[in-house]
Amino acid sequence: MKRIITIILSAIQTITVSAQDKNPVEKICEEIYSAVPGLPCLDDKQKSYNGDGLVVYSHRAYFDGIFCTKDSTEYKNKKVLKKMLGIIRHNLDSLMEISDESYHLESHSHDADTIKYSLCLSNGPVVPKKIKMGNLTYITPDDDETVSLDYTRNKRNYEYRGYADWVNLKYHKNVILPNKHDNAFDKLAYLEKTAPVLKHKDIKSWDFNWSQSEDYDIESNKEDIDFITLLYPQHKNAGQCIGTMYFIPKEKKELAETILTSLDSITLNHTETNPYHRYVYHYNMKDWVMRYTEGAGHKIKEMFFTNYQSSTRVFYGVTSQGYYVAIADTEKNFCIPREWYCLKSFNNGKKEYIK
């Protein structure tokens, strides 16, 4: 454990200060979580590069279906909602005073509420790009740095989504690189950093191969599939994912947190030292996994480096048995079988389980 902690500290020290700066949505969420501990939220903070010379930082905090009763627009947690919206309003109103341009709209009635903010925090010499949606002007995420809020409560939400309310906070920032290079991902250099972290006596590992052919019937076999992306229509349903799965038992939670923290740091540092590799990095993957509660089934989340029609993906997963990390190469369309945590092979639905 001491050796692993040394690796972590070394990795963390190499991360640039800018990568650690907190964006406005992150600060707002921290204030909300402090005021309302345990509030469920889809909280996703990303950094990405797509070969176009532009690094995109984004953060989305999404609260839905928790303030109204399931089958109506009647409030069940009005005090919590009032406290949360008060925090959001206070922060966004303060940001409006220093924004290059900003818009704010509210409407309220017995069974419907709407609160919307759209702020351009910084756009340099360029006039912010805007679109009209109903009565509100939205500043598009093409601008350098934007923040927005969309809160709605109405019957139509329930009819179409199964819940009446949602609160959607978004942050977006573009950083222009000196060039528009599109370099191939150096997997070997990345594995040289991750391999020492994943080599531990309490970590079990196995190789896996998940694949499906062009004519694999996804609709008829959807009960076997957890997630699939069909990004290459020329290949129909064909795709392959080959890699290594690492398993950390549930009782080794401290080890799991240490390993995931180290991998987070190494992966983020790789994006800083290799800025022209295509990637999507998720900042809070470790926290997303470690917040798992007993009886919640299983879940998996991934970040990736990509080349044309292929990518190297890093997965974090969790079940009632423990914690998982997978590093895999994918080609063409990407599919995760529902029993990803115990499958050595999945080929057109034919399964081979680990022993």
The overall average pLDDT reported for the chain is: 81
**Residue 306, both tokens:** 């990509």
* Alpha carbon distance 18, 203 (integer Å): 33
Is residue 52 domain-shared with residue 135, that is, in the same domain?
Answer: yes
Mean predicted confidence (pLDDT) in 199-205:
95
Query: 346 and 254 in contact (C-beta within 8 Å)?
Result: no
Cβ–Cβ under 8 Å, residues 178 and 275:
no
117 pLDDT above the threshold of 70: yes
In a domain, 4, yes or no: no
CA 286/CA 257 separation, integer angstroms: 7
Contact 69, 163 (CB under 8 A): no
Query: Minimal CA–CA distance to 302: which of 311, 314, 310, 312?
Result: 314
46 and 149 fall within a common domain: yes
Q: Which residue reads 């990568």 in tokens? A: 19
214 vs 128 pLDDT, higher one: 214
Question: Running DSSP on this structure, what letter comes out for residue 228?
Answer: E
Count of other CB atoms within 10 angstroms of residue 182: 15
In a domain, 1, yes or no: no
Pairing state between β 343-347 and 204-212:
parallel
Residues 89, 150 within the same domain? yes
Residue ending a domain, among 176, 201, 227, is 176
Q: Does residue 160 register a pLDDT over 60?
A: no
216 with 308, same domain: the answer is yes
Judge contact between 122 and 95, C-beta under 8 A: no
Would you call 325 helix, strand, or coil by DSSP? Answer: strand
Q: Is residue 41 part of a domain?
A: yes
The last residue of one of the domains, among 149, 176, 203, is 176
Answer whether 172's CB lies under 8 Å from 61's CB. Answer: no
Domain membership of residue 151 (yes or no) is yes
> Do 235 and 167 fall into the same domain?
no
Number of domains in the chain: 2
pLDDT value at 157 more than 60: no
Among 148, 176, 204, give the residue marking a domain's end. Answer: 176
CA 176/CA 9 separation, integer angstroms: 29
Same domain, 159 and 189: no
70 domain residue, yes or no: yes
Same domain for 279 and 156: no
Mean pLDDT across the stretch 335-343?
A: 90
Residues in CB range of 51: below 8 A, 6 or more apart: 180, 181, 182, 276, 278
Is residue 291 included in any domain, yes or no?
A: yes
Q: How many CB atoms sit inside 10 A of residue 42's CB?
A: 11
Q: Mean pLDDT lowest for which of 33-42, 110-119, 235-244, 316-325? A: 33-42
pLDDT at res. 221:
84
CB 12 within 8 A of CB 272: no
Residue 84's domain comprises: 21-176
For 40-97, what is each residue's pLDDT tens digit? Answer: 777 888 999 999 999 999 999 987 656 665 555 555 667 788 888 899 999 999 999 9
d(CA 176, CA 52): 9
Shared-domain flag, residues 172 and 187: no
Do both 69 and 121 map to the same domain? yes
Decide if 144 is inside a domain.
Answer: yes
230 and 87 inside one domain = no
* Per-residue pLDDT reduced to its tens digit, 249-278: 999 999 999 999 999 999 999 999 999 999
Please check whether residue 264 lies inside any domain of the structure.
Answer: yes
Asked if 154 and 28 sit in the same domain, the reply is yes
What is the model's pLDDT at position 38? 75
143 and 193 share one domain: no
pTM, 2 dp: 0.82
